[in-house]
Structures are given as C-alpha cells and as structure tokens.
C-alpha cells in the first residue's frame, strides 16, 4: 500500500464493524474512506469516499487500480487488517 495512514477509527459497537481512515496519498492529496465489514458476506464494503474533500460516493476502484495497482477489495482488506491490529480487534468468523 503506497498511501500512508494519518488517522483511523473503529466503531465495533454496531452489528458490523465500521472503519474510518484518512490516508495521505503518494501525490500529497488526502483520501478519506468510510467502510465496514459485513459478517454475512465476509467482505469489506466502502460506504463513503472523499478525495481532496470531493465526495466520490462509494467509488474506490478508480483510485486502487490507478495508484495502488490492486482491486478495491484487496485494498480494503489490507486497510481493515491494519486498523484491526492497531485497535487489537478480532473479527468474529
């Protein structure tokens, strides 16, 4: 992952854990992602994406494919793992 994590939060008091991550992109811009993990489908889903304060809805593939060179799912899994480790949180399986 090329982007650096500036801030992160985890809300584990919901039915599915919600993540909020602010990233510093390699070109200096900021990327904010609000995503969650869904236990039923066992996948991460982006909910809101902001790139330099411009709302991109839940679209993340444009960034992950062109900059990170991975799928959006791989990117969210990597982010989720880092946040889970930081907060010492284990997903229930």
Asked, for residue 91, whether it belongs to a domain, the answer is no
Buried residues in 43-76 as b, exposed as e (16+ CB within 10 A): ebebeebebeeeebeeebeebbeebbeeebeebb
- pLDDT (tens digit per residue) in 29-88: 999 999 999 999 999 999 999 999 999 999 999 999 999 999 999 999 999 999 999 999
For 64, the 3-state DSSP assignment is helix
Write out the residue range of the structural domain in which residue 62 sits: 4-86
**Residue 58 placed within a domain:** yes
65, 71 Cβ separation under 8 angstroms: yes
57 within a domain of the structure (yes/no): yes
| 78 token code pair | 């990597």
**pLDDT tens-digit map of 8-31:** 999 999 999 999 999 999 999 999
CA dihedral 81, 86, 87, 92 (to 10 degrees): 20
């Amino acid at each position: 992952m090329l982007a650096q994590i500036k801030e992160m939060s985890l809300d584990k008091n919901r039915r599915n854990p919600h993540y909020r991550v602010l990233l510093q992109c390699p070109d200096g811009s900021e990327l904010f992602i609000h995503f969650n993990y869904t236990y039923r489908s066992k996948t991460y889903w982006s909910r809101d994406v902001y790139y330099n304060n411009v709302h991109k809805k839940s679209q993340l593939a444009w960034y992950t494919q062109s900059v990170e060179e991975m799928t959006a799912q791989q990117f969210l899994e990597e982010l989720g793992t880092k946040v889970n480790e930081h907060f010492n949180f284990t997903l229930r399986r």
